Amino acid sequence: MSTIDLSQFYINGRWVAPSGRDTLDMINPATEETVAVLAMGDASDVDAAVAAAKAARPAFAATTKLERRALLERILEVYSRRIDEMAQAISIEMGSPISFAREQQAQVGVDILTAMVADLEAFAFEHTLLNGDLIVMEPVGVCGLITPWNWPVNQMMLKIAPCLAAGCTMVLKPSELTPLSANLLAEIMDEAGVPAGVFNLVHGAGPTVGSSMSRHPDIAMMSFTGSTRAGTSILKESADTVKRVTLELGGKSPNLVFADCDLERAIDEGIDACFINSGQSCDAATRMLVERPVYDRAVELAAVKCARVKIGDPSQPGDHLGPLVSQMQYDRVQKMIQVGLDENTRLVCGGLGKPEGFETGYYAKPTVFADVSNDMRIAQEEIFGPVLVMIPFDDEEDGIRLANDTPYGLGAYVQSGDPARALRVAKALQSGTVNVNGAYLAAGSPFGGYKSSGNGREGGAEGMRDFLEVKAIALPE
């Protein structure tokens, strides 16, 4: 990976020095060593980036669908050529094992861009209603994008690609924990010829840069992915300027395992769906609800599977889990494991502390709790680490009730040997996405949640609609 300078921001097509002097050490979570020093922005940097986006907005909004599709194709070409650099950046900044970083974390950028090109080609920005009125879809304007650290490219691309497709300009504030991938993405945008001012990047903390964006009168829309607490703050801060706000927030996703499924496969896939990315996914299958006749056997299988999960050095290829992203995240996971122990659950695998041989780095033990009640904290609160809770249920009605008994509604999973029941249950779940019998949503499908998991959708045509205003025009006959 080429050296990425973290002392500058990308504003109006140029790398520029920030106005402030605050910095933040960037820590490699596998070694706990400082690998870079990140410049942190302030309100003045936001003002400069928004001014650039505002100035670029009229010309970019006037581009044709064909021109924007060509731009996305150029970004895809440059990104694909530099994908190995992106994988290296993600592995260093968040501890993602290099094979996983290449095959999933970085690859998702290709998938999202490819789907967005196809969806843009098929999208109709104008259509006539049955009553004869003309409907015109127009870019909403300057957009503020705030993204998290856990799937950095996925979340940046899910906002940037539809923003560009819709004809909007933007200011991106990525997580301060994952600046390498964000800066590399800015380099890719520049190399692909994104017009000056259309894409702008400012690093900084949420209470400073993020709040300045939410309150800025020249930002027409905020798109945020992160915690429910932070999303609530953005909604409040955006209210005075009547911004459009879309939010992709937390989750506590249920995985309903029925007795008629292939139990060994279901438990194997369920553990993987919980522990993927070291459990740091908002739609991770963290609540495994198992039909009572096979519950004891499911717990046995989960214990065996969990014990076989490998921990490894992120720099080495292979199928293993890496560390958590930071000391703060490690401490949070340890606290919640202690909560589980205090709630008198049955510890099936894992527990407190670091895995043997990984005393340096923010590594957590893959952990499974059984005999959990759905009203316990570990069943209701998002842990964001490799921690699974197992809960028995009596029948289909009871399983659906428990699955929906959560403040969240982002992801859900169903395992059943009866396809009709699997679909019936999927439709009954209060969740923005449902994965049935090992299937996963493809790039281009809408992603988002019910209830405290947010509002709006990301991905494909549905995601692009969030970046568009609807104008109705009455024409004489």
Catalytic residues: 248
The CB density around residue 315, as the number of other CB atoms within 10 Å, is: 15
Range list of H helices, 205-262 = 211-215, 228-238
Length of the chain: 477
Quick one: which of 191, 199, 166 has its CA closest to 74? Answer: 191
**Cα three-residue angle 55-57-59, rounded to 5 degrees:** 95
* Long-range contacts, 418-422 (Cβ 8 Å, 24+): 418/258, 418/260, 421/258, 421/396
- What's the token pair of residue 455? 């509002």
CA distances (Å), 84 to each of 78, 105, 115, 426, in order? 12, 11, 21, 37
- Map residue 275 onto helix, strand or coil: helix
**Ramachandran angles phi, psi of 97, nearest 5°:** -55, 140
**Cα–Cα dist 197/170, whole Å:** 8
**Cα–Cα dist 322/316, whole Å:** 10
Q: In sequence order, what are the beta bridge partners of 305?
A: none
Kind of pairing between the strands at 468-473 and 134-139: antiparallel
**Cα–Cα dist 250/238, whole Å:** 20
Judge contact between 170 and 145, C-beta under 8 A: yes
Q: In sequence order, what are the beta bridge partners of 393?
A: 291
Judge contact between 293 and 259, C-beta under 8 A: yes
The DSSP 8-state label assigned to residue 339 in this structure reads H
Which residues have CB under 8 Å from 106's CB, separation 6+? 83, 84, 86, 87, 90, 153
**Cα–Cα dist 192/200, whole Å:** 14
Judge contact between 340 and 378, C-beta under 8 A: yes
